[in-house]
């Protein structure tokens, strides 16, 4: 019976190879995206789920990009898109697309280009789904043909993906007043108003802090410049917190006494809550 042994071994080897291939299926993101004169090729993808209108039916999101996505940074962030934009700025280039897989058979597309453009193209594009579960998603989202926006910009895309669904921890609401990051933010506004370098340099954006403290003769001009961009006074009205990151909503007045609202992204660095980014707008 020994003359059957090589065939049997070959059969087992082939079965083993097939099983190994199935288990080691490569995660991938492929395709192309064109908007106006901007065109890029997809080389990486990541998927996660977020809350939908129905708490029992989470919405699957797929990120496709022309760079290697820093997945740990996305998982740590309160807002995945913000983490990706930060990565693009650090890399000094890169494009990515957020694909929303809802409702069935349709997909929504929002593109973030390294030119600074953010384009929401809508949520009515055809989607083909091969695999869809809480742990993995595979499929395609594409235009049927090249289309135009109301402004005449031509766009066309074909996006395919086959990736695991990454579990992203949820952020928690901040306590009243914004908690620790809220107190740090309000302390910063006071320090700017009082031209207090010792307090202000701990909470300002890192790029706003010179390597050495301004000279006494330069201090007033330094804080006058900061006062043009930051609220003169404010209260924290809400926000989210996750690990060493927080997003805070504020209401207050600017240097001219006009009412403003805005959002501050905060990050804890070396034990201090520091402004990472912010956006202010008129509330009048």
pLDDT, average across residues 99-105: 90
- At 41-100, the pLDDT tens digits run 999 999 999 988 888 889 999 999 999 999 999 999 999 999 999 999 999 999 999 999
Q: Which of 79, 74, 153, 148 is nearest to 113 (CA)?
A: 153
Return the pLDDT at 260: 98
- At 243-254, the pLDDT tens digits run 999 999 999 999
Is the pLDDT score of 16 beyond 70? Answer: no
Sheet containing 245-253: order of strands:
172-173, 233-242, 245-253, 259-269, 272-282
Return the pLDDT at 26: 60
Mean pLDDT of the residues in the chain = 90
Return the pLDDT at 76: 93
Return the pLDDT at 17: 38
CA distances from 6 to 10, 16, 18, 19 (A): 6, 15, 18, 20
Cα torsion 123, 124, 129, 132: sign: positive
- At 174-211, the pLDDT tens digits run 999 999 999 999 999 999 999 999 999 999 999 999 99
- Assess contact for 77 and 245: CB atoms under 8 A: yes
pLDDT band at 173 (very low <50, low <70, confident <90, very high): very high
- Assess contact for 146 and 155: CB atoms under 8 A: yes
| 184 CB-side CA count, 13 A | 24
CATH 3.10.450.50 domain span(s) along the chain: 172-282
- Assess contact for 207 and 276: CB atoms under 8 A: no
Domain 172-282 has CATH 3.10.450.50: yes
Residue 165 CB partners (closer than 8 Å, separation 6+): 47, 48, 49, 60, 133, 134, 135, 136, 137
Is the pLDDT score of 280 beyond 90? Answer: yes
């Amino acid at each position: 019976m020994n003359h059957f042994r090589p065939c049997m071994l070959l059969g087992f080897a082939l079965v083993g190879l097939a099983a190994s291939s199935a288990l080691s299926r490569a995660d991938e993101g492929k395709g192309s995206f064109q908007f106006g004169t901007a065109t890029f090729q997809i080389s990486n993808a990541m998927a996660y789920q977020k809350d939908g209108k129905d708490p029992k039916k989470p919405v699957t999101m797929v990120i496709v990009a022309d760079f290697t996505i820093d997945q740990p940074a996305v998982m740590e962030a309160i807002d995945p898109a913000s983490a990706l934009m930060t990565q693009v700025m650090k890399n000094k280039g890169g494009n990515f697309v957020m694909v929303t897989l809802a409702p069935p058979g349709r997909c929504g597309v929002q593109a973030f280009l390294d030119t600074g453009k953010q384009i929401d193209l809508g949520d009515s594009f055809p989607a083909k789904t091969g695999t869809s579960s809480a742990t993995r998603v595979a499929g395609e989202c594409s235009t049927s043909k090249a289309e135009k926006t109301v402004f005449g910009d031509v766009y066309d895309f074909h996006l395919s993906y086959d990736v695991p669904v990454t579990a992203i921890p949820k952020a928690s609401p901040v306590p009243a007043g914004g908690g620790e990051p809220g107190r740090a933010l309000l302390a910063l506004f006071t320090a700017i108003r009082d031209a207090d370098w010792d307090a202000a340099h701990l909470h300002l954006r890192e790029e706003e802090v010179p390597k050495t403290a301004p000279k006494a003769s330069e201090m007033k001009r330094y804080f006058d410049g900061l006062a043009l961009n930051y609220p003169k006074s404010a209260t924290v009205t809400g926000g989210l917190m996750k690990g060493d990151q927080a997003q805070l909503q504020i209401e207050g007045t600017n240097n001219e006494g006009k009412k403003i609202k805005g959002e501050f992204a905060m990050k804890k660095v070396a034990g201090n809550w520091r402004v990472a980014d912010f956006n202010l707008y008129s509330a009048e």
